Structure 1
Amino acid sequence: MITLTTENFDEQVLGADKPVLVEFWAEWCGPCKMVAPVLEQIEAEYGDRVTIAKLNGDDHPEIVRRYGVMGFPTMNLYRDGEVVRQIVGAKPKRLLVADLEGHI
């Protein structure tokens, strides 16, 4: 799993050669802690088709503002530098994978 910062976001996400699922999270966010192991499972199973990355929204608010993220966790799926899917809130793995189908 890639840890994103303001400095590496454009290169790691917008310049990526495969889709990137970015979780916008915060240390104080309980649902973020619930979704973390689900993202690890998705990375293990679908890592050849999608890159999983995390951005601490409290540490990098300019990226949060750039993409209009209103709450945590929010997961944006980027493909070719564009957001193709936004998922708000923690979800079970099967629902999260269903949201990603057709995009990865």
Structure 2
Amino acid sequence: MAANIAEITNDNFETKVLKSEKPIMIDLWAEWCMPCKMLTPVIEEIAEEYKGRVDVAKVNVDDSPELATELSVMSIPTLIFFKKGKEAGRLTGVNTKEYIIGKIKEFFSL
């Protein structure tokens, strides 16, 4: 995992996401999920390009199933966008970098 992408778990979700001052995009994924692996380089590029403006994090749904359930995640990959502790939007499935960036701008008013 890229150095500027945090790992979110049940234990740190509140402090890292809900109490975050910056907007944050969370990638919910699993090791066995091929579409998730396809999306990983895109997420890493976005994390680098938006460094300092948008935090990027990952949740392994196998390691944190309670969190995935709490967030009502039914399929992966799912990207959830949080702004000031509230969900601003979500995307499911593999999307292009351009589409995800468009949604970042829309959801976070950037």
Is the TM value for this pair above 0.5? yes
Matches within 5 A, 1:9-88: 9-88=13-92
State the 4+ residue runs in structure 1 displaced beyond 2 angstroms.
none
**Inter-partner Cα distance in structure 1 for 2:19 and 2:69:** 20
Structure 2: gaps of 5 or more residues: none
When normalised by structure 2's length, the TM-score is 0.91
When normalised by structure 1's length, the TM-score is 0.96
Deviations 1:12-69 (A, max 9, x none): 0001011110011001100110111101111111112110000000111111111100
Q: CA RMSD in A?
A: 0.8
Structure 1: gaps of 5 or more residues: none
Q: Please, which of 80, 83, 93 is the counterpart of residue 89 of structure 1?
A: 93
Aligned letter for 2:75?
A: G
Offset of 1:103 from its aligned partner? 2.5
2:10 aligned with 1:6: yes
**Inter-partner Cα distance in structure 1 for 2:75 and 2:65:** 12
Matched-pair identity in %: 37
